[in-house]
């Protein structure tokens, strides 16, 4: 367990249920965990085990049915939609299964876009975006649109986008799912390096143990419960 000072996110006895119409499904069941600065946690489990739901709760995308999620001491249930949106824009970086870039924007524009969500001036966002892309060895590709980039390059752009606002928490939902093994390992190495370099908390969802082995800590989840 992380110490009180280091925790970015604290999850206590958290449960999330969904009413599917055919019945109530418990996706996350009485989960407690902490995510500390500079630490990447891998959340591993089979399909339908509740990995993505737990990630969504931690990232202020979903509200839990029971329990508490605190982000740097703030109970997320106390925030309204506007505040949760602002929190995601300024303090959470998200990387999805696919890069999910805006197709008509260039790589640099895609990265800079989220700067606007956080209130950053366009010129500053653009400058920071180009800097991040250069750090991720995409400087020469900054003016290319997603359709002109490979899958691995797109995912690196997505990581740059997630890091633009210098988040306190980086969440990645199976970021290597659509990449071949070599590119997948490159991307996960980049996520690990980013978390360590920026000293943010990180959580990566995967069902690939080789990917998970790159993390500082591995949590296994089955049927919505953490088992190790």
Binding site for other proteins (CB under 8 A): 52, 55-56, 59, 61-62, 81-82, 85-90, 92, 94, 96-98, 100, 102, 104-105, 109, 113-114, 116-118, 161, 173
Least distance (Å) between residue 1 CB and other proteins: 26
Give whichever of 18 and 210 is closer to other proteins, judged by the CB atom: 18
Q: Where are the alpha helices (DSSP H) in the chain?
A: 51-58, 81-91, 107-117, 122-135, 151-163, 181-198, 209-212
Least distance (Å) between residue 41 CB and other proteins: 17
Which two three-digit tokens encode residue 54?
A: 């737990």
Asked if residue 12 lies in contact with residue 32, where contact means CB atoms within 8 angstroms, the answer is: yes
Question: Rounded CA gap, 31 and 95, in Å?
Answer: 23
Asked if residue 111 lies in contact with residue 157, where contact means CB atoms within 8 angstroms, the answer is: yes
Give whichever of 165 and 190 is closer to other proteins, judged by the CB atom: 165
Least distance (Å) between residue 56 CB and other proteins: 5
Asked if residue 60 lies in contact with residue 54, where contact means CB atoms within 8 angstroms, the answer is: no
Give whichever of 87 and 188 is closer to other proteins, judged by the CB atom: 87
Least distance (Å) between residue 117 CB and other proteins: 4
Give whichever of 178 and 183 is closer to other proteins, judged by the CB atom: 178
């Amino acid at each position: 367990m992380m110490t009180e000072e280091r925790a970015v996110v604290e999850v206590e006895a958290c449960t999330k249920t969904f009413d599917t119409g055919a019945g109530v499904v418990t996706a996350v069941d009485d989960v407690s965990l902490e995510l500390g600065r500079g630490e990447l946690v891998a959340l591993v489990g089979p399909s339908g085990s509740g990995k993505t739901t737990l990630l969504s709760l931690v990232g202020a995308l979903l509200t839990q049915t029971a329990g508490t999620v605190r982000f740097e001491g703030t109970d997320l249930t106390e925030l309204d939609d506007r505040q949760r949106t602002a929190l995601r824009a300024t303090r959470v970086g998200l990387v999805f299964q696919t890069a999910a870039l805006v197709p008509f924007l260039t790589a640099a524009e895609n990265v800079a876009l989220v700067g606007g969500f956080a209130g950053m001036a366009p010129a500053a966002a653009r400058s920071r975006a180009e800097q991040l892309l250069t750090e991720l060895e995409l400087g020469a590709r900054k003016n290319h649109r997603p359709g002109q980039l490979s899958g691995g390059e797109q995912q690196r752009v997505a990581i740059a986008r997630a890091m633009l606002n210098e988040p306190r928490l980086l969440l990645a939902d199976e970021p290597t799912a659509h990449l071949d093994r070599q590119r997948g390992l490159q991307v996960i190495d980049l996520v690990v390096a980013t978390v360590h370099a920026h000293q943010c908390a990180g959580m990566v969802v995967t069902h690939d143990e080789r990917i998970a082995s790159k993390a500082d800590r591995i949590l296994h989840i089955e049927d919505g419960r953490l088992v190790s």
